């Protein structure tokens, strides 16, 4: 989808809009008139407070443990710049450019609410950086998820003032000052409150969370498709997906998954042969309970989507400014606990998709469980190993995901001389969910590779029309063979297919199944 102008007002940003915009370069962003008016009102009040020497945290005082130190007017600009310099303490590999774009969009959107007292011109410089694809290099580690994602956001602000680094599309870096000069952008000279307004927020964990929700929804749908193919490969039954069963329990995700599986398997001659044949009454849980397991993950994703959708449009600065009352209120909206809890939950839910997928893979390669398929799906077992070690790989990834599911949010460490004595660690929750999703892509890819081989052994019986089209699509990129091949290459190719979402387009077009 092509992104035109992204309109931000602080209230109406959605996950699909954010993901679509942040996945593109040279984004045109505009603030609404109402956002500009609100921003100007709060800025005017900040200027008045500075003139009257009112003591306000982060405006005329130091930060954190230094909040009891009042700053002279002549040092206020230095205070804001020093904040950015000293807080740019991140380490580790750089965040992907699309994540940093999302962080910039989210920060602009939060500032557009008019509760932060920042100048419109400062926000417009961020907008210009997006327009010219000047994406700051932001180290991925260093945030404890309270007082916001301070270190990551500081690296964005550091680029904004011309003292940071730009991450180019080819992975190289360049001075932000030089890149801004090249495009005619004047680096910002921060004034009162502006440094704090730029870095006090949850934009890193929220950006990663939005992309995680997007990926998780896609992989949940892909797991349904891979699972349906595995059912036919294992000559399973669709009785367990009968609508009446799932209506009697009532979980939305469960009913959706059962409906998808019924549609995917409709018309399969392999399934029909099983009904007439071997007398099996019910399948193993990894087949029979897909609606309950995949569906529970679907419901979990919906919950996390709800949480992230709220945070996209939240004001998470401190202090917040309320122009109508001429009030500044010190609080803790920067605390990442809601996001951290949700993303730890999402990690568990997505890891479970991998857990049950690997169990289906095991059944297809295990001659004692595969309902007639050759051991390890090898044409000439003994001389060939077939998909034996592919299952090892899936098992290794599943095991690693279990380790990654340890919740980050329960491991708070105090900071800032115990002034900040409870932190969410939400950025860690946000980073590790993407590692889990990377693993899940590979696990589902391995199940697909086994399932299409299994279905081929049932020739001349065919799977359903829709699954057959998916089968042919995969085989157009991974040719069928009766020989052992370098499985690593097949997994890489199949993982790319899984992550692309192309298979979901096929299901959406043919059966109107939600993609």
Q: Catalytic positions, please?
A: 57
> How far apart, in whole angstroms, are the C-alpha atoms of residue 360 and residue 81?
56
Cβ(427)–Cβ(409) below 8 Å: no
DSSP codes, 225-290: HHHHHHHHHTT--SGGG-HHHHHTT--HHHHHHHHHHHHHHTT-HHHHHHHHSS------HHHHTH
Give, in order, the Cα–Cα distances in Å from 455 to each of 238, 240, 394, 444: 16, 20, 20, 16
**Tokens 């298979």 sit on residue:** 503
Could you tell me if 114 and 313 are in contact, meaning their C-beta atoms sit under 8 angstroms apart? no
**Which helix H or strand E contains 165, and what residues bound it?**
strand 165-167
Q: Can you tell me the distance from the alpha carbon of 425 to that of 336, in angstroms, rounded to the nearest whole number?
A: 7
Q: What is the CB-side half-sphere exposure of residue 36 using CA atoms within 13 A?
A: 7
Closest to 437 measured CA to CA, from 223, 224, 137: 223
**DSSP calls for 397-431:** HHHHHHHHTS-STT----BTTTTB-----HHHHHH
Tokens of 73: 């007017």
**85: nearest Cα among 189, 146, 194, 158:** 158
Q: Which residues contact 113 (CB under 8 A, 6 or more apart)?
A: 10, 11, 35, 38, 313, 315
- Output DSSP code: residue 190: -
Dihedral sign for Cα 199, 204, 207, 213, please. negative
Distance CA 200, CA 410 (A): 22
> 139 forms bridges with which residues in the sheet?
94
CA distance 390 to 487: 7
């Amino acid at each position: 989808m092509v992104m035109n102008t992204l309109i931000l007002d602080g209230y109406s940003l959605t996950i699909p809009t954010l993901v679509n915009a942040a996945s593109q370069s040279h984004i045109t962003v505009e603030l609404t008139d109402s956002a500009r008016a609100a921003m100007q009102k709060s800025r005017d009040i900040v200027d008045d407070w500075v003139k009257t020497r009112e003591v306000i945290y982060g405006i005329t005082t130091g930060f954190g443990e230094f909040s009891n130190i009042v700053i002279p007017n002549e040092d206020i600009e230095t205070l804001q710049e020093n904040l950015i310099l000293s807080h740019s303490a991140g380490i580790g590999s750089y965040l992907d450019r699309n994540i940093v774009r999302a962080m910039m969009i989210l920060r602009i959107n939060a500032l557009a609410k008019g509760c932060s007292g920042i100048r419109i011109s400062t926000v417009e410089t961020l907008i210009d950086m997006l327009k010219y694809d000047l994406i700051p290099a932001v180290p991925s580690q260093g945030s404890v998820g309270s007082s916001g994602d301070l270190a990551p956001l500081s690296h964005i602000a550091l680029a904004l003032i011309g003292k940071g680094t730009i991450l180019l599309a080819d992975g190289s870096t360049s001075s932000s000052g030089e890149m801004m000069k090249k495009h005619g952008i004047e680096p910002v000279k921060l004034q009162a409150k502006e440094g704090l307004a730029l870095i006090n927020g949850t934009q890193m964990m929220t950006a990663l969370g939005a992309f995680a929700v997007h990926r998780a929804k896609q992989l949940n749908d892909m797991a349904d498709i891979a699972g349906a193919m595995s059912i036919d490969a294992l000559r399973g039954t669709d009785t367990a997906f009968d609508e009446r069963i799932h209506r009697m329990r009532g979980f939305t995700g469960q009913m959706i998954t059962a409906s998808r599986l019924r549609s995917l398997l409709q018309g399969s001659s392999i399934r029909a042969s099983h009904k007439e044949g071997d007398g099996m009454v019910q399948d193993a849980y990894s087949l029979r309970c897909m609606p309950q397991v995949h569906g529970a993950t679907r419901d979990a994703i919906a919950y996390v989507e709800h949480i992230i959708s709220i945070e996209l449009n939240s004001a998470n600065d401190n202090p917040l400014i309320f122009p109508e009352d001429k009030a500044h209120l010190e609080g803790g909206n920067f605390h990442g606990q809601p996001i951290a809890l949700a993303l730890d939950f999402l990690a568990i839910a997505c890891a479970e998709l991998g857990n049950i997928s690997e169990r289906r893979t095991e059944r297809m390669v295990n001659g004692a469980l595969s309902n007639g398929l050759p051991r390890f799906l090898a044409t000439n077992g003994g001389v060939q190993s077939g998909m034996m070690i592919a299952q090892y790989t899936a098992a290794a990834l599943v095991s690693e995901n279990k380790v990654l599911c340890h919740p980050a949010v329960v491991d708070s460490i105090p900071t800032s001389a115990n002034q900040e004595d409870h932190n969410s660690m939400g950025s860690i929750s946000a980073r590790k969910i993407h590692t889990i999703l990377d693993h899940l892509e590979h696990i589902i890819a391995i199940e697909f590779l086994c399932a299409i081989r299994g279905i081929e052994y049932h020739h001349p019986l065919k799977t359903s029309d829709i699954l057959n089209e998916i089968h042919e699509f995969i085989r157009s990129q991974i040719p069928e063979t009766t020989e052992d091949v370098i499985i690593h290459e097949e997994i890489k190719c199949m993982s790319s297919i899984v992550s692309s979402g192309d298979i979901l387009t096929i299901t959406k077009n043919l059966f109107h199944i939600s993609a």
